Amino acid sequence: MSTETIESVIPPKGKPKWLRVKLPTGKKYTQLRGLVDKYNLHTICTSGSCPNMGECWGEGTATFMILGNICTRSCGFCGVKTGRPEDLDWEEPEKVARSIKLMSIKHAVITSVDRDDIKDMGSIMWAETVKAIRRMNPTTTLETLIPDFQGIETHLDRIIAVAPEVVSHNMETVKRLTREVRIQAKYERSLGVLKYLKDNGANRTKSGIMLGLGEREEEVIETLEDLRRANVDVVTIGQYLQPSKKHLPVKEFILPEQFKKYEEIGLKLGFRHVESGALVRSSYKAHKHIE
């Protein structure tokens, strides 16, 4: 695989022009925003101020987070609060299913915090949520963006058993930076999770990485090659943006030409879909990844 160098980065002195986005507009967005506000629906799209919210909502896609909003892990890139989580809300599966029905969502992405504090690590709630969505929204397709469940196969089997159209688990960064960026996670464990899912019947697997944390081009390519060896079908590649001053700083802004190069490399490696661009996030164009 060619590693011909492109002048691919600029120093992080203010966001470059390609990271500036217009406020979401359109009839579909306005309608859904009204429903979210009226019924106090919780989507990652709104709470995370996703730059692609208008586009995704217009295409009938939205992302929902389960298992509360406090994570047991303390990743250096993530804006979700770390601490002692609250007790599980066993009505949550029905609440998420109702939200999807109210919003007339065609393709839903479900994600969660890590729950290392409970024995099943939230995998039972995950399975119940998928079942509830299927009952109430039989035509809605699903992507489950899961944590690593510490690589415990019993928990992963629960996800495989409910058969979402896509099962996703993000690598987030290259091997060298994993300990700094993901702290409690392990690069090889995440690869193992993705391989186990595919080897044991997952319909389609997916992963994502962020750029701008100090990774080198050859390390990004190595990660893409590792993901293909794990038979991952879909990969997303986007620009890391610092959630607050407490989080890891942006080391560099990656140029659009470099994102395009990674897309071309990924397609040559054999991924079904490669979404690569500064504003790409895990759920970007997620409805297309079932094709």
Cα separation, 285 vs 289, in Å, equals: 7
Asked if 211 and 240 touch (Cβ cutoff 8 Å), the reply is yes
pLDDT on residue 276: 97
Task: Please enumerate in sequence order all residues whose Cβ is within 8 A of that of 282, keeping only pairs 6 or more positions apart, or say none.
Answer: 109, 111, 145, 168, 170, 208, 236
- DSSP collapsed to 3 states, 166-193: EEECCCECCHHHHHHHHCCCCHHHHHHH
Asked if 99 and 119 touch (Cβ cutoff 8 Å), the reply is no
Distances (CA, A) of 57 to 108, 143, 167: 10, 15, 21
pLDDT on residue 193: 98
pLDDT on residue 1: 39
Query: Residue 208, SS3?
Result: strand
Number of neighbours of residue 178 by Cβ within 10 angstroms: 19
pLDDT on residue 13: 64
| Residue segments in the chain with a per-residue pLDDT below the cut of 50 | 1-7
Listed as own residue / partner, the contacts of 38-47 with beta carbons closer than 8 Å and 24 or more positions apart are 39/99, 39/102, 41/99, 41/102, 41/103, 42/99, 43/99, 44/109, 44/111, 44/283
pLDDT on residue 35: 72
- pLDDT tens digit sequence for 79-94: 677 898 889 999 999 9
Task: Please enumerate in sequence order all residues whose Cβ is within 8 A of that of 34, keeping only pairs 6 or more positions apart, or say none.
Answer: none
Question: Is the pTM of the predicted complex or chain greater than 0.75?
Answer: yes
How remote is the C-alpha of 237 from its chain's centroid? Answer: 10
pLDDT on residue 243: 79
Cα separation, 278 vs 265, in Å, equals: 17
Which tokens hold the place of 277? 């661009």
Cα separation, 69 vs 242, in Å, equals: 19
Cα separation, 237 vs 230, in Å, equals: 17
pLDDT on residue 289: 93
pLDDT on residue 20: 73
- CA-nearest of 225, 185, 287, 258 to 8 is 258
pLDDT on residue 47: 52
**Residue 195: half-sphere exposure toward Cβ, Cα within 13 Å:** 12
